[in-house]
């Protein structure tokens, strides 16, 4: 089968690496060069909104998916008229709009923090009166890795925050005093069968994921079940085919949904070395009409992002239990250039190896 | 690092898939098109003995290796003058000559069946007198997957067998009434550190590997140690860098060395899903000067070759514990077009899943 991927970053790269053993071939639409997917298939170098490039890209493909969630929805619709696109443009559209995302959670019966979409300073003031402080502001669109976010502590700071975020449509939501951030990666196949990876614990720094611990330690009874129920509702709400990630807050032993990602997700990278089937393979199995693979855990795994710079591969690989995943991206402050999965036999070994890798990564 | 691979078949393909996450890039020298390595790097399409193509291939490479053991030794030597080549041309040369292979075993103190190199019918008759019947004849060069072999039961059949094998130089050896065929895959890094995968059991049909069971069941005490000692002697004998495989016969609880392969080996494919680090990654780590990864077993694994035809991927992947590895090769009788690794939680499940896959593969 010929699979088309909108986007040519590390997620596209890891999809291709997982898909070639299944006999899949890949074509990417990616405006930039060089790209992490170079030498992993054919790359159509063009803008995402170029209809002629989209037609050239679509020619002969069996299915299209994306690895980049800010692909124009119109482009996904254009392609949908020619070839199956999974997840559908509807899921993509919701994933691009933080307010629509929250509304989808509410529509699917999934608890969230109190929120409001606001399009003016006046609406923002009104939302603050209803929701209270601290108030979290996020741009409705194009935010990722903590960009386009602010926390406001009182009325006096509202207008400055509004302007600092570009005077654009915002999501305003209550600050959640969460115990920790969790996420669940789930998949749904053509046959409607769903599969769930264990809930994982995520540590962010400056809004960027730095560490995932899988499975999440100290899970209170019922939490995994709740996460699976929420993920299943979303998968069924969208008639979704493929992998979807839901970011969650744990608050007083319960879960609040924070964001969804209609694609493979950074908090699922541990599955490459820690689960029976990786999220990348399961996404491809789903969109290609193949049965989903087991989401069972091989052993507790910690994923550490490489941000900005790559430590010497020798120094990483000499640490027991490490698996290195580089993206062929040049170093740049804060940029995700790779990750290290750590899985060992015993939990003490795991903590020791993780600590050694973290030393290499610096502060 | 830029890695050059002589050959563009499935072994080159799986090396590239294992190496890209380490940040390695690949260039292949492969005369045929299409090839399993297409879209996994740059492919120089030329004959292995073309010196101009070899120079073009070598330009800018950090290290060269091979995935195909019948590359002309002169080509490896030509490249060695320009770029590090691992394993060395000496190991390649020995691996191409069944008599030199046996002599290397003897030189390294590794037991083999009685053997003789013969270059004429007369020499063959003399060898038969010394070794006895049944006598196994193999062409010294270019034999693989059971091609170029014959078993002779008595004096009268010697001349016909000599002619049927093309009247070329032969290895004549005693038929070994082995209990079973085993093999060990081992690796040696730049630092001289060696790593050994567990001994596996191999089942051949018409000289072609059809199944590997890893680790080999019912191992008598000392057998793993003996295999490791033999493999280590060979690695040190050649000052070897990379992965090497030794095929062994188990006879009366002891081991006789049969053949060596100076490369990743079909009987090591199970490591992709059954070991902490695959043979492909460890070969690359070795030749790139990186520390070797753990060769520990995740769980008992069975590898089944797909010969001649590919069953419906759906029918394979719906069987618990299966991992599919296709090579992008067209179907042709007896041709290795892929393999399935099966690993499950319990041994009963494993036997059931293996039986289900074997049903798909037919007789």
Predicted confidence at residue A144, as pLDDT, reads: 59
pLDDT for residue B143: 63
Cα(A1)–Cα(B202) distance, integer angstroms: 32
User: Please, what are the domains in chain B?
Assistant: 2-85 (3.40.50.20), 114-174 (3.30.1490.20), 180-361 (3.30.470.20)
| Residues A239-294: tens digit of each pLDDT | 999 999 999 999 999 999 999 999 999 999 999 999 999 999 999 999 999 999 99
- Answer yes or no: do A39 and B17 touch at CB < 8 A: no
Question: Which of the residues B23, B277, B296 would you substitute to probe the A interface, choosing the one with the greatest number of A C-beta atoms within 10 Å?
Answer: B23
Number of CB pairs, chain A paired with chain B, less than 8 A apart? 80
pLDDT value at position A70? 87
Task: Give strand pairing partners of A260.
Answer: A246
With a CB-CB cutoff of 8 Å, which residues 66-85 of chain A face chain B? none
pLDDT at B145: 60
Interface test with B, best of A3, A280, A313 (most B CBs within 10 A): A313
- Mutant choice from B39, B326, B339, B346 vs A, greatest count of A C-beta within 10 A: B39
Q: Where are the beta strands (DSSP E) in chain B?
A: 2-6, 25-29, 42-44, 63-66, 115-118, 135-139, 149-152, 170-174, 180-188, 194-196, 200-205, 208-214, 242-251, 254-261, 301-307, 322-326, 336-343
Question: Is pLDDT at A132 greater than 90 in this prediction?
Answer: yes
Q: How far is B258 from chain A (nearest CA, A)?
A: 31
> Among residues 8-37 of chain A, which lie with CB inside 8 Å of chain B?
13, 17, 20-23, 25-26
pLDDT, one tens digit per residue, over A165-199 is: 988 999 999 999 999 999 999 999 999 999 999 99
Q: Which of A262, A261, A249 is nearest to A111 (CA)?
A: A249
Q: Does A42 touch chain B (CB under 8 A)?
A: yes
Question: pLDDT band at A76, cuts 50/70/90?
Answer: very high
Q: What are phi and psi of B346, to 5 degrees?
A: -110, 155
Question: Would the CB atoms of A326 and B23 count as touching at under 8 Å?
Answer: yes
Chain A residues with CB under 8 Å of B291 CB are 314, 317-318
∠ CA B253-B259-B260, nearest 5°, is: 115
Q: Are B265 and B185 in contact (CB under 8 A)?
A: yes
**pLDDT at residue number A146:** 60
Alpha-carbon distance of A230 to A248, in angstroms, equals 10
**Which residue, among A21, A36, A309, would best test binding to B if mutated, counting the most B CBs under 10 Å from its CB?**
A21
Instruction: Say whether residue A285 is in contact with chain B using an 8 A CB cutoff.
Output: yes
Query: Is B317 near chain A, with CB under 8 Å?
Result: yes
Q: pLDDT tens string for chain B (363 positions)?
A: 999 999 999 999 999 999 999 999 999 999 999 999 999 999 999 999 999 999 999 999 999 999 988 899 999 999 999 999 999 999 999 999 999 999 999 999 999 999 999 999 999 999 999 999 999 999 998 765 667 889 999 999 999 999 999 889 999 999 999 999 999 999 999 999 999 999 999 999 988 999 999 999 999 999 999 999 999 999 999 999 999 999 999 999 999 999 999 999 999 999 999 999 999 999 999 999 999 999 999 999 999 999 999 999 999 999 999 999 999 999 999 899 999 999 998 778 999 999 999 999 977
Contacts of B44 (CB under 8 A, 6+ apart): B27, B28, B29, B30, B53, B56, B57
Sort out which chain A residues have CB atoms less than 8 A from B310's CB and list them.
23
Q: Tell me the nearest-neighbour CA distance from B126 into chain A, angstroms.
A: 50
Q: A-chain residues within 8 Å CB-CB of B317?
A: 285, 290-291, 293
> Is the pLDDT confidence value at A302 over 90?
yes
């Amino acid at each position: 089968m010929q699979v088309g991927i909108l986007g040519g970053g590390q997620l596209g790269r890891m999809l291709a690496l997982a898909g070639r053993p299944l006999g899949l071939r890949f074509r990417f639409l990616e405006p930039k060069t060089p790209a992490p997917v170079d030498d992993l298939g054919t790359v159509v170098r063009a803008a995402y909104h170029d209809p002629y490039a989209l037609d050239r890209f679509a020619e002969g493909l069996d299915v299209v998916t994306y690895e980049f969630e800010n692909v124009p929805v119109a482009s996904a619709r254009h392609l949908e008229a020619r070839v199956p696109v999974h997840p559908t443009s509807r899921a993509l559209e919701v994933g691009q709009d933080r307010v629509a995302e929250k509304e989808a959670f509410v529509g699917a019966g999934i608890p969230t923090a109190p929120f409001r979409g606001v399009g003016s300073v006046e609406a923002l003031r009104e939302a603050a009166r209803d929701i209270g402080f601290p108030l979290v502001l996020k741009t409705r669109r194009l935010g990722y890795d903590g960009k386009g976010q602010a926390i406001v502590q009182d009325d006096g700071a509202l207008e400055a925050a509004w302007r600092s975020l570009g005077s654009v449509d915002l999501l305003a939501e209550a600050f959640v005093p969460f115990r920790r951030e969790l996420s669940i990666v789930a998949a749904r196949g053509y046959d409607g069968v769903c599969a769930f990876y264990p809930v994982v614990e995520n540590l962010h720094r400056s809004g960027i994921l730095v560490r995932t611990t899988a499975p999440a330690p100290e899970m209170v009874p019922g939490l995994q079940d709740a996460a699976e129920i929420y993920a299943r509702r979303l998968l069924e709400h969208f008639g979704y085919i493929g992998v979807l990630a839901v970011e969650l807050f744990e608050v007083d032993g319960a879960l609040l949904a924070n964001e969804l990602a209609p694609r493979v997700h950074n908090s699922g990278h541990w599955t490459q070395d820690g689960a029976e089937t990786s999220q990348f393979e399961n996404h491809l199995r789903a969109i290609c009409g193949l049965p989903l693979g087991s989401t069972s855990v091989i052993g507790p795994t910690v994923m550490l992002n490489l941000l900005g710079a790559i430590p010497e591969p020798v120094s990483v690989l000499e640490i027991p239990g490490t698996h290195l995943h580089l993206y062929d991206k040049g170093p740049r402050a804060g940029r995700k250039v790779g990750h290290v999965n750590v899985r060992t036999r015993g939990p003490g070994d795991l903590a020791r190896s993780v600590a050694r890798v973290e030393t290499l990564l610096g502060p």
